[in-house]
């Protein structure tokens, strides 16, 4: 009788080597993802290093509860440098309560840091104007205590997919405009939705908004597009019964309006 191929010692050796190779490749791929590695390169905004390591990294930045635009200047410069241009950087701000205006974008040129893929701040309450405008690699945002998102804070973050800002009451003008990759969003406590706040979010399909609040301001072009052409035919809105009429009053032609 012929031996089973699985009992052949040479075959088993080859199979084992192949399995180890696959495991090594898998681990290698995971190590390049900054959201999966152990936080490293801890420093304060006052001690930003001149260069970054070669690999993709987490950067933990912490300068106490307050920080100014000047405090962020050195970090923005480092992340915009040629030394960092091919990196994937995830930022966490453990104690900072406010991200200042234009922290990672140049307001005059409307350009942002191209290396940031994730950003979080467990104590951040306010996100300033144009703070992350045109950070084109940014995919994930988490500010669980933030209550205010002011003008153009995440405008033109074309890769942004996940937004975790559940306590936001104010969503300012232009806040998420041109976020082409944003598919879902949830702002249950929103009372104000500004002008073109979600304009040109062409893949947005589901938004949960003002389910636990009274919507005081919903500007006409909040979900508009260039020349006010609607892009809402594929959007399902979930809101409170008291707020439903405000969405119905606008000529946006939502796919569906669900009330809680």
User: Is there a contact between 224 and 250 (Cβ–Cβ < 8 Å)?
Assistant: no
| Per-residue confidence (pLDDT) for residue 41, from 0 to 100 | 64
Distances (CA, A) of 23 to 11, 16, 20, 48, 148: 19, 11, 5, 36, 44
Query: Residue 97's domain spans which residues?
Result: 32-232
- Write down the pTM of the prediction: 0.81
- Assigned domain for 156 exists: yes
69: in domain? yes
Whether 235 has a pLDDT exceeding 80, the answer reads: yes
Is there a domain that residue 171 lies in?
Answer: yes
The reported pLDDT for the residue numbered 248 is 87
pLDDT tens digit sequence for 123-158 = 999 899 999 999 999 999 999 999 999 999 999 999
Q: Give the domain CATH number at 110.
A: 3.80.10
Q: What is the mean pLDDT of the chain?
A: 81
Q: How many whole angstroms from its chain centre is CA 3?
A: 57
- Assigned token pair, 140: 């994930």
Residue 79 lies in a domain: yes
Closest C-alpha to 168, from 224, 203, 209: 209
* Domain count of the fold of the chain: 1
Is 226 inside any structural domain? yes
Angle subtended at Cα 175 by Cα 98 and Cα 205, rounded to the nearest 5 degrees: 125
Residue 161 lies in a domain: yes
Nearest to 75 by CA among 107, 46, 40: 46
* pLDDT for the residue numbered 230: 56
| CA atoms of 142 and 118, how far apart (whole Å) | 8
Please give the Cα distance from 146 to 165 (Å, whole number): 6
Q: Does the residue 169 lie in any domain?
A: yes
Dump pLDDT digits (tens) for 152-199.
Answer: 999 999 999 999 999 999 999 999 999 999 999 999 999 999 999 999
Give the span between the Cα atoms of 123 and 253, in whole angstroms.
37
């Amino acid at each position: 009788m012929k031996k089973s191929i699985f009992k052949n010692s040479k075959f088993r050796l080859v199979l084992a080597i192949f399995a180890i190779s696959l495991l090594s490749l898998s681990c290698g791929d995971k190590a390049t993802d900054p959201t999966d590695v152990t936080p490293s390169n801890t420093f304060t905004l006052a001690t930003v290093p001149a260069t970054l390591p070669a690999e993709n990294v987490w950067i933990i930045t912490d300068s106490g509860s307050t920080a100014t635009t000047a405090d962020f200047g050195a970090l923005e410069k480092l992340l915009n440098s040629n030394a960092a241009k091919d990196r994937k950087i995830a930022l966490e701000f453990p104690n900072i309560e406010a991200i200042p205006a234009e922290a990672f974008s140049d307001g005059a040129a409307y350009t942002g840091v191209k290396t940031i893929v994730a950003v979080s701040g467990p104590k951040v309450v306010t996100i300033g104007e144009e703070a992350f405008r045109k950070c084109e690699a940014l995919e994930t945002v988490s500010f669980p205590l933030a209550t205010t998102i002011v003008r153009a804070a995440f405008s033109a973050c074309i890769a942004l997919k996940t937004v975790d800002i559940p306590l936001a009451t104010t969503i300012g003008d232009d806040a998420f405009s041109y976020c082409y990759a944003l598919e879902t969003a949830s702002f249950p406590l929103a009372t104000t939705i500004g002008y073109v706040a979600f304009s040109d979010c062409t893949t947005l399909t589901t938004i949960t908004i003002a389910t636990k609040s009274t919507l005081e301001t919903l500007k006409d072009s909040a979900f508009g597009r260039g020349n006010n052409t609607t892009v809402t035919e594929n959007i399902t809105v979930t809101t409170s019964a008291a707020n439903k009429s405000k969405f119905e009053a606008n000529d946006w032609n939502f796919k569906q309006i669900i009330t809680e």
